[in-house]
Amino acid sequence: MLMDKLVKEAEKLKRHLGILKLVVEKGPLGIFRISDITGLPPHKVRYSLRILERAGLLRPTSRGARATPAGEEELKNTRKELKEVIKSIEKLLR
């Protein structure tokens, strides 16, 4: 039961980070273009964009979502932060 929730949250995080990475690399991008590239349904893309915008990582423009400097920095730091999370989880398994 607890693992189900963790897996669900990890999937959302994976989606959010994937969209952030795509916008950083190819932005600005709109919902339907992101949906076409990723294969995700538009409603899930819209939700992720909203979450990323509220976090200050993306901003809407007339041509689609564009990464903010904070979004670009977040993407750079993600690998290091995820490694720390993995270490914490591995400690739980000992």
> 40-79, pLDDT tens digit by residue?
999 999 999 999 999 999 999 999 999 999 999 999 999 8
Q: Which of 35, 36, 63 is nearest to 48 (CA)?
A: 35
Q: What is the mean pLDDT of residues 16-20?
A: 97
When the pLDDT of each residue in the chain is averaged and rounded to a whole number, the result is: 94
Give a yes or no: residue 57 inside a domain. Answer: yes
Give a yes or no: residue 85 inside a domain. Answer: yes
Work out how many domains the chain is built from and give that number. 1
Q: What is the mean pLDDT of residues 3-29?
A: 94
Residue numbers of the domain that contains 87: 9-92
Give a yes or no: residue 1 inside a domain. Answer: no
Looking at residue 60, its pLDDT comes to: 96
Looking at residue 1, its pLDDT comes to: 77
Give a yes or no: residue 68 inside a domain. Answer: yes
Give a yes or no: residue 2 inside a domain. Answer: no
CATH number at residue 84: 1.10.10.10
Q: Which of 48, 46, 47, 26 is nearest to 37 (CA)?
A: 26
